Structure 1
Amino acid sequence: MIFRVETFYENGMTPSNEGGVLLRRGLRFTIPNQYGQFLKAILSPIPLDSYQWNVVDEESYIVKDGQLDRLLFPESTVIDGHQFAELLTQHEHYLIFVDIKAFHSNMSSEIVTYEDFLHSTCEFALLVIDSQDVTIYCKDPQMLNSLYENAFLHEFEEIAYITSHNDSMTRLSCW
Structure 2
Amino acid sequence: MRRGVRFTIPNRYGHFLQEILNTIPIEQYRWSVVDEESYIVENGELNRLLFPDSTIIDGHQFAELLTQHEHYLIFVDIKAFQSDMSSEIVTYEDFLQSMCEFALLVTDSQDVTMYCKDPQMLNSLYENAALHGFGDITYITSHNDSMTRLSCW
Tell me the TM-score normalised to structure 2 length: 0.99
Q: Structure 2: which 5+ runs fail to align?
A: none
Q: Is 1:127 aligned to 2:105, yes or no?
A: yes
* Alpha-carbon separation, structure 1, partners of 2:65 and 2:27: 12
**Could you report, residue by residue, the CA deviation over 1:129-158 in whole angstroms, capped at 9, with x for unpaired residues?**
000000000000000000000000000000
**Could you report, residue by residue, the CA deviation over 1:38-89 in whole angstroms, capped at 9, with x for unpaired residues?**
0000000000011000000000000000000000000000000000000000
Q: Is 1:162 aligned to 2:140, yes or no?
A: yes
Identify the residue that residue 149 of structure 2 maps to in structure 1. 171
Q: Determine which of 38, 45, 48 is the counterpart of 1:60.
A: 38
Q: Determine which of 16, 24, 30 is the counterpart of 1:38.
A: 16
* Alpha-carbon separation, structure 1, partners of 2:84 and 2:98: 10
Which structure has the greater CA radius of gyration? 1
Structure ranking higher in helix proportion: 2
Q: Structure 1: which 5+ runs fail to align?
A: 1-22
* Alpha-carbon separation, structure 1, partners of 2:85 and 2:110: 27
CA RMSD of aligned residues (A): 0.4
* Alpha-carbon separation, structure 1, partners of 2:23 and 2:112: 16
**Could you report, residue by residue, the CA deviation over 1:115-136 in whole angstroms, capped at 9, with x for unpaired residues?**
0000000001000000000000
After the TM superposition, which parts of structure 1 deviate over 2 Å for at least 4 consecutive aligned residues?
A: none
Could you tell me how far 1:108 is from its partner in structure 2? 2.8
State the number of aligned residues.
153
Q: What percent identity do the matched residue pairs reach?
A: 80
Q: Determine which of 34, 38, 49 is the counterpart of 1:71.
A: 49
Q: Is the 8 A contact 1:52 1:106 kept in 2?
A: no
